[in-house]
């Protein structure tokens, strides 16, 4: 028996040595096809990172992403998951997969500066609508090498906000209603409107996600009824808030491409119908779609596939990817993002950005993703506005450029909490001469206690 133990120990040591040698000599992959994301790169060693301890954490994250045969092991794990995860092969609603949905979306989003540098096209030169986009010479600089701090607050757990659902070739996040949190969210919106006062119009646009229209009945009624969530939020708003009901217009156009199938976001066309509802409340003339130059990115496999990629059923999403269609503003404009409310550090970016084929998240087309503050200055006749939003607002913001001389896009997740800069929204709005404040969110955010709190802190 002792001899057997000796042999097994020797085999184990040899295997570990071989793994170590391969780890030191192989070429690191930069992208995981099975997870649909860019992999961590080897961190640079510095005295500061050693003292802070961040280098060790970064190196562990890098090694977890690049150990030998990682992709093969993930594929094996995906196959094993298929044996014990619920699959309704004969379900009349074609439900393929249902799992709990835990999300850090309330903590912050992704932005282009976290990807390899991109060259951005001029705002005024649209690509050919039907052909794949090719890089064009740009008057805008490449993305900065500096990075914004990681979006997730230290030690803040992901929230159990609902379920992830795969139905046919469409994946969706299905929210659970938490009416206490929704009321807190409405109180935060009301607090912003009251603090800004009567000189600033405050609009609230709460929009449904794809599950409200495309999920089987059991997943869009009862505690999953998104219209009930939105109506309840509106019923709790104060008198200084103008609510915008985008739900009916989106419901009327569900036979169009208003939501992605592989990503949790709406399309820019879906955002257009919310913009139409907003114009009706704001007193603006809706700009027709045929005034906008268009372009597209094909083979977009988005965030819902990334979330479900550990399960074999999700392969249907890879085999039937989305196409992202964008509409370029027809006004002349300049777009800059900032890391804090001092506006001292600005970086040029696009309202509609050029995305390399190697970047999997094509939704970064809109504003380059989630930044603390993005300011779009236009030649349109009109006042300045502020858009407080999570990532659903990124596809909405370009539509506002036809009506405002300045569109200031602010992500509340990036301010007034641990590790983030502070912002006094009231003073900022006064300094910028803002006349309209638009608050836009989707159901996962109005049911997030974190997000409700951070939104309220904008005026506290």
DSSP readout, 361-430?
-GGGGBTTB--SEEEEEESSSS-EEEEEESTHHHHHHHHHTTT-SEEEEE-GGGSSSTTS----HHHHHH
What mean pLDDT comes out for the span 75-99? 58
Q: What is the pLDDT of residues 277-288, one digit of tens each?
A: 999 999 999 999
* Residue among 18, 72, 16, 313 at smallest CA distance from 169: 313
Q: Which helix (H) or strand (E) holds 190?
A: helix 179-196
Are 377 and 326 in the same domain?
yes
Are 113 and 246 in the same domain?
yes
Q: Is residue 297 part of a domain?
A: yes
Are 39 and 109 in the same domain?
no
Are 124 and 71 in the same domain?
no
Are 178 and 42 in the same domain?
no
Q: Answer yes or no: are the C-beta atoms of 253 and 268 closer than 8 Å.
A: no
Are 53 and 195 in the same domain?
no
Are 200 and 59 in the same domain?
no
Structural domain count of the chain: 2
Backbone angles phi, psi at 181, to 5 degrees: -70, -40
Q: Answer yes or no: are the C-beta atoms of 264 and 389 closer than 8 Å.
A: no
Q: Is residue 112 part of a domain?
A: yes
CA 59/CA 62 separation, integer angstroms: 5
Q: Is the pLDDT reported for residue 126 higher than 90?
A: no
What mean pLDDT comes out for the span 208-213? 98
Residue 70 is part of which domain span? Answer: 23-82
Q: Is residue 259 part of a domain?
A: yes
Question: Please, which residues have CB within 8 angstroms of residue 188's CB and are 6 or more apart in sequence?
Answer: 452, 453, 455, 456
Q: Which of 61-70, 174-183, 258-267, 285-294 has the lowest mean pLDDT?
A: 61-70
Q: Answer yes or no: are the C-beta atoms of 143 and 117 closer than 8 Å.
A: yes
* Residue among 301, 315, 257, 299 at smallest CA distance from 97: 315
Q: Is residue 110 part of a domain?
A: yes
Q: Which pLDDT score, from 0 to 100, does residue 269 have?
A: 99
Q: Is residue 5 part of a domain?
A: no
* Residue among 273, 294, 304 at smallest CA distance from 172: 304
Q: Is residue 175 part of a domain?
A: yes
Q: Which pLDDT score, from 0 to 100, does residue 146 have?
A: 33
What mean pLDDT comes out for the span 21-44? 61
Are 43 and 108 in the same domain?
no
What mean pLDDT comes out for the span 143-148? 32
Are 314 and 425 in the same domain?
yes
Q: Is residue 89 part of a domain?
A: no
The predicted model scores a pTM of 0.77
Are 215 and 346 in the same domain?
yes
Q: Which pLDDT score, from 0 to 100, does residue 18 have?
A: 66
Q: Is the pLDDT reported for residue 151 higher than 60?
A: no
Confidence of residue 60 (pLDDT cuts 50, 70, 90): low
Are 332 and 425 in the same domain?
yes
Q: Is residue 278 part of a domain?
A: yes
């Amino acid at each position: 028996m002792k001899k057997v133990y000796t042999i097994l120990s020797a085999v184990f040591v040899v295997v570990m040595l071989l793994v170590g040698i391969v780890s030191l000599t192989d070429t690191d992959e930069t992208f995981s096809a099975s997870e649909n994301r860019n992999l961590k790169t080897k961190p640079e060693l510095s005295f500061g990172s050693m003292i802070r301890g961040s280098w060790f954490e970064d190196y562990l994250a890098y090694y977890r992403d690049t150990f030998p045969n990682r992709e093969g092991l993930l594929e094996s794990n995906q196959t094993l998951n298929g044996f014990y995860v619920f699959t309704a092969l004969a379900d009349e609603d074609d439900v393929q997969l249902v799992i709990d949905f835990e999300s850090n979306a309330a903590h912050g989003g992704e932005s282009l500066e976290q990807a390899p540098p991109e060259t951005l096209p001029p705002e005024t030169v649209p690509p050919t609508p039907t052909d794949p986009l090719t890089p064009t010479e740009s008057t805008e600089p490449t993305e900065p090498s500096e990075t914004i701090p990681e979006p997730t607050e230290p030690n803040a757990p992901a929230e159990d906000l609902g379920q992830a659902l795969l139905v046919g070739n469409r994946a969706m996040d299905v929210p659970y209603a938490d009416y206490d949190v929704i009321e807190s969210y409405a109180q935060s919106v009301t607090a912003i409107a009251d603090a800004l006062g009567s000189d600033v119009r405050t609009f609230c646009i709460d929009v449904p996600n794809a599950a409200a229209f495309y999920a089987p009945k059991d997943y869009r009624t009862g505690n999953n009824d998104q219209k009930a969530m939105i109506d309840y939020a509106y019923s709790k708003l104060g008198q200084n808030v103008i609510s915008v009901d985008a739900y009916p217009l989106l419901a009327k156009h569900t036979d169009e491409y208003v939501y992605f199938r592989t990503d949790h976001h709406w399309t820019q066309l879906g955002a257009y119908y919310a913009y139409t509802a907003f114009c009706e409340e704001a007193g603006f003339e809706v700009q027709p779609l045929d005034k906008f130059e268009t372009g597209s990115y094909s083979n977009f496999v988005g965030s819902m596939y990334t979330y479900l990629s550990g399960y074999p059923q999700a392969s249907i999403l890879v085999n039937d990817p989305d196409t992202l269609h964008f509409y370029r503003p027809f006004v002349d404009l300049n777009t800059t993002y900032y890391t804090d409310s001092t506006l001292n550090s600005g970086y040029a970016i696009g309202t509609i950005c050029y995305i390399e084929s190697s970047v999997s998240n094509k939704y970064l087309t809109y504003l380059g993703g989630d930044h603390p503050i993005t300011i779009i200055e236009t030649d349109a006749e009109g006042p300045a506005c502020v858009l407080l939003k999570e990532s659903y607002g990124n596809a909405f913001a370009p539509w506002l450029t036809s009506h405002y001389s300045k569109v200031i896009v602010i992500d509340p997740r990036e301010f007034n909490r641990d590790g983030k800069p502070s912002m006094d929204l009231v003073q900022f709005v006064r300094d910028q001469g803002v006349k309209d404040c638009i608050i836009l969110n989707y159901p996962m955010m109005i049911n997030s206690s974190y997000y409700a709190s951070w939104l309220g802190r904008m005026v506290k």
